Amino acid sequence: MLLLATALSLGPYPLAPGDLLAFLMAKATGAASPLSGPAEAVILQIRVPRILAATAVGAALAASGAGYQSLFRNPLVSPDILGVSAGAAFGAVVGIFLSLPVLAIEVASFAGGLAAVIIVYTIATAIRGRDTVLVLVLAGVVIGALFGAGVGLLKYLADPYNQLPAITFWLLGSLAAANLRDLTSLLPAVAIGLVLLALLRWRIDVMTLGDEEATALGVNTRSLRIVVIAAATLMTSAAVAVSGIIGWVGLVVPHLARLLIGPAFTRLLPVSVLFGAGYLLAVDTVARTLGSVELPLGVLTAALGTPLFLWLLAFSRRPAWS
Amino acid sequence: MVLTAPRLATEDLSYGYPGHVVGRHISFSIDAGEVLCVLGRNGEGKSTLFRTILGLLPACAGAVRVDGGLTTGWSARRRALTLGYVPQTGGGGFPFTVAELVLMGRTAHRGPFSAPSIADRRAADQAIATMGISHLAQREWVRVSGGERQLALVARALAQEPRILVLDEPTASLDFGNQVRVLDAIRSVAETCGLTVLLSTHHPEQAFACADRVAVLAGGELLQIGPPAQVITSETLRTCYAVEVAVLPVADDRYRVCVPQSYLS
């Protein structure tokens, strides 16, 4: 809450905490706004959507990461393991390359993310008789690389004055363009994904035992895996479509949460969601206030996430995994 | 005349992997409350047979019946409510507590979205107490010893409240005391709960300690099946393991020990 308030008041148009409080009180009671017209516009049109987007994207990435880490029985898996980020990047880059409007670029990115995961899943189920999880991960790596190559090709062909900077900026991740319309697609997607993961939290724990043991305990591993992948992909694609590629949150946050409160998904999910939302909100607030030029979000999450992760790895006493 | 079907039966069962049949024409049956111990050398396919019975592997040919009904096409949940499985190694690599791990045994007793009920937690606690590991309940699974992990996996299978318990070499990684504890526990749950038990072991002697009957697998077929005193003989052990073993009665033939001949000469 404190973080939310801080994020609301900071920015190129700073607001005093008192003014902000008065404004919120006025809104809550329906009284006339004590703020000037521009100040109110800054809060409602720019800052509120951006803050909500940061919270939702952070929560989505962290929750997807937590789900995947349990599903793939590996604490170092991130939400883009099945190629969702690469697919989304390819979709967005195609959109930018074709000079499509912003909305179309977001739709293309969302579709690209979904398409990549669907291709990966189809390949993995077509190859029978091997460890499904291993085939999924390998197919994800391969398809991800293929989409990555597609992104590379389009960057090479792109107009270096207009399109290439836009592509680069998108790939580094940013919430600068987040607006109310983005929220109407992002928030429902994240809500659906979170509810699915929350409902399945006890089954997701059983999946960490491996397919055979989980089956012997009565879990239909195939359908559970489809639902978890679908939920995570929906959330991640929606998040990436709005924010571009933001790495590290989906990997570091659930890992950190597991170190603190253990692997049980019933605690891991809410803690990951809170940390993910808080972390990305804090980082985004730093990104837009630190310098005169806004810093790319993906760069900051990596710059902050790497030392944090290494510190945890070196000094944590609780094993996250063995 | 009313015929009661055996609790578990295999009919001309062939098992293995696509393109590689490991064992064929296995037919045996186990009654409620009976303990069957399976012997066979390494690679004979004891684990594969168990996984086929559990439905984790499709049968190459033949069938598995529980209480007379074919298990083909059963859902994972129905299987889990009928058959409890203690794998040789299991539990995954995440640091769940022993209590959390045992509670996972209750998965099949509730719907996909529901949280464990008080009854589920009570059943898990009961199973932990039965295995004598209550002091480990809050320890992290990855931090307890191999033997304690095995006890926890047995507790998880008990919490599952199945009609049939399948244990793949349950004593393989245990120290002497824990081996005795696990075998005694298996014997006692079979007697008190009428639980049917199928287990494999590499120690023929253990069959005298806990089994009603012994099945010996050799060359991919069922070599012999019957009471331990009839099956575990020097001849059978020679065929099975290719070593000379003396089977000696002790304590007025209430138990028999298997001693390799090379130790005696």
Q: What is the ipTM of this complex?
A: 0.91
Nearest to B105 among A215, A217, A319 (CB): A217
Q: How many helices (H) and strands (E) does chain A have?
A: 15, 0
Inter-chain touch B76–A220, beta carbons under 8 Å: yes
User: What was the pLDDT predicted at B175?
Assistant: 87
User: What was the pLDDT predicted at A245?
Assistant: 87
**Alpha carbon of residue A252 to chain centroid:** 12
Alpha helices (H) in chain B, listed in sequence order: 46-53, 76-82, 98-103, 118-130, 146-159, 176-193, 205-210, 228-231, 234-241, 261-264
Q: What tokens were used for B195? A: 């639980």
In the numeric block, the tokens 């709960």 are attached to B193
CA–CA dist A228, A200 (Å, integer): 8
Q: Which candidate in A71, A128, A213, A223 is best for mutational testing of the B interface (most B CBs within 10 A)?
A: A213
- Give the predicted TM-score (pTM) of the model: 0.88
Nearest to A200 among B96, B110, B113 (CB): B113
**Residue type for B129, please?**
A
CA–CA dist B78, B123 (Å, integer): 19
In percent, the amount of chain A with pLDDT more than 90 equals 38
User: What was the pLDDT predicted at B1?
Assistant: 47
The answer to whether residues A85 and A249 touch, using CB atoms and an 8 Å cutoff, is no
Residue B3 maps to a domain: no
Q: Chain B closest CA to A247's CA: distance in Å?
A: 24
User: What was the pLDDT predicted at A11?
Assistant: 57
Q: Which residues of B touch A (CB under 8 A)?
A: 17-18, 51, 54-56, 75-77, 79-81, 83-85, 87, 90-97, 100, 104-105, 107-108, 110, 112-116, 140, 142-143, 156, 160
Residue pLDDT, tens place only, B153-167 = 999 999 999 999 999
**Residue type for A162, please?**
N
Nearest to A319 among B51, B95, B105 (CB): B95
Residue B232 maps to a domain: yes
Q: What is the mean pLDDT of residues B215-224?
A: 92
pLDDT at A1 over 60: no
Instruction: Return the CATH architecture of domain A2-315.
Output: Orthogonal Bundle (1.10)
Nearest to A213 among B83, B87, B142 (CB): B87
Nearest residue on chain A to B115, judged by CA atoms? A202
Nearest to A263 among B79, B96, B108 (CB): B96
Give the count of beta carbons closer than 10 Å to the beta carbon of residue A29. Answer: 7
Inter-chain touch B107–A206, beta carbons under 8 Å: yes
Letter string b/e over residues B165-189, b meaning 16 or more CB atoms within 10 A of that residue's CB: bbbbbbbbbbeeebbebbbebbbeb
Per DSSP bridges, beta strands B20-30 and B164-167 are unpaired
Q: What tokens were used for A119? A: 């291709």
**Residue type for B83, please?**
L
CA–CA dist A221, A260 (Å, integer): 28
pLDDT at A33 over 80: no
Give the count of beta carbons closer than 10 Å to the beta carbon of residue B27. Answer: 13
Inter-chain touch A220–B81, beta carbons under 8 Å: no
Nearest residue on chain A to B153, judged by CA atoms? A213
pLDDT at A313 over 90: no
B136 Rama class: left (phi>0) / alpha (psi -120 to 50) / beta: alpha
CA–CA dist A203, A192 (Å, integer): 18
Q: Which residues contact A273 (CB under 8 A, 6 or more apart)?
A: A59, A62, A63, A194
Inter-chain touch A219–B107, beta carbons under 8 Å: yes
Sequence ranges of the domains in chain A: 2-315
Residue B173: pLDDT band (50, 70, 90) is confident
Q: What is the mean pLDDT of residues B195-221?
A: 92
Q: Which candidate in B104, B109, B117, B138 is best for mutational testing of the A interface (most A CBs within 10 A)?
A: B104
Element (H, E) at B61: strand B61-66
Q: What is the DSSP string of B180-222?
A: HHHHHHHHHHHHHH--EEEEE-S-THHHHHH-SEEEEEETTEE
Angle between helices B118-130 and B146-159 (to 10 degrees): 130
Nearest residue on chain A to B89, judged by CA atoms? A213
Inter-chain touch A216–B104, beta carbons under 8 Å: no
pLDDT at A316 over 70: no
Nearest residue on chain A to B98, judged by CA atoms? A264
User: What was the pLDDT predicted at A31?
Assistant: 62
Q: Chain B closest CA to A179's CA: distance in Å?
A: 35
Domain with residue B121: its CATH number is 3.40.50.300
pLDDT at B221 over 70: yes
Closest CA to A293 of A6, A9, A7, A12: A12
Residue B2 maps to a domain: no
Inter-chain touch A218–B115, beta carbons under 8 Å: no
Look at A27-31, A44-48, B189-193 and tell me which has the smallest mean pLDDT. A27-31
Per DSSP bridges, beta strands B213-218 and B245-250 are unpaired
Q: Which residues contact A188 (CB under 8 A, 6 or more apart)?
A: none
CA–CA dist A225, A120 (Å, integer): 13
Q: Chain A closest CA to B84's CA: distance in Å?
A: 7
Q: Per DSSP, what are the bridge partners of residue B245?
A: B260
- Mean pLDDT of all residues belonging to chain B: 91
List the Cα angle A51/A47/A291 in 5-degree steps. Answer: 90
User: What was the pLDDT predicted at B13?
Assistant: 94
The DSSP code for A33 is P
**How many domains is chain B built from?**
1
Inter-chain touch B75–A129, beta carbons under 8 Å: no
Q: Chain A closest CA to B85's CA: distance in Å?
A: 6
Residue B1 maps to a domain: no
Residue B168 maps to a domain: yes
Going across the sheet that includes B83-86, the strands are B83-86, B164-167, B196-200, B35-39, B213-218, B221-226
In the numeric block, the tokens 């047979």 are attached to B49
User: What was the pLDDT predicted at A34?
Assistant: 64
- Count of CB contacts below 8 A, A vs B? 103
Q: Per DSSP, what are the bridge partners of residue B165?
A: B84, B197
Inter-chain touch B95–A217, beta carbons under 8 Å: no
What phi and psi values does residue B157 have, to the nearest 5 degrees?
A: -65, -35
In percent, the amount of chain A with pLDDT more than 70 equals 84
pLDDT at A89 over 70: yes
**Mean pLDDT highest for which of A35-39, A77-81, A188-192?**
A188-192
Inter-chain touch A319–B143, beta carbons under 8 Å: yes
Residue B118 sits in which domain range? 8-264
Nearest residue on chain B to A206, judged by CA atoms? B104
Residue A6: pLDDT band (50, 70, 90) is low
B43 Rama class: left (phi>0) / alpha (psi -120 to 50) / beta: left
Residue A14: pLDDT band (50, 70, 90) is low
CA distances from A199 to A203, A204, A232, A261 (A): 9, 10, 13, 19
CA–CA dist B177, B147 (Å, integer): 10
- Mean pLDDT of all residues belonging to chain A: 85
In the numeric block, the tokens 């945890």 are attached to A312
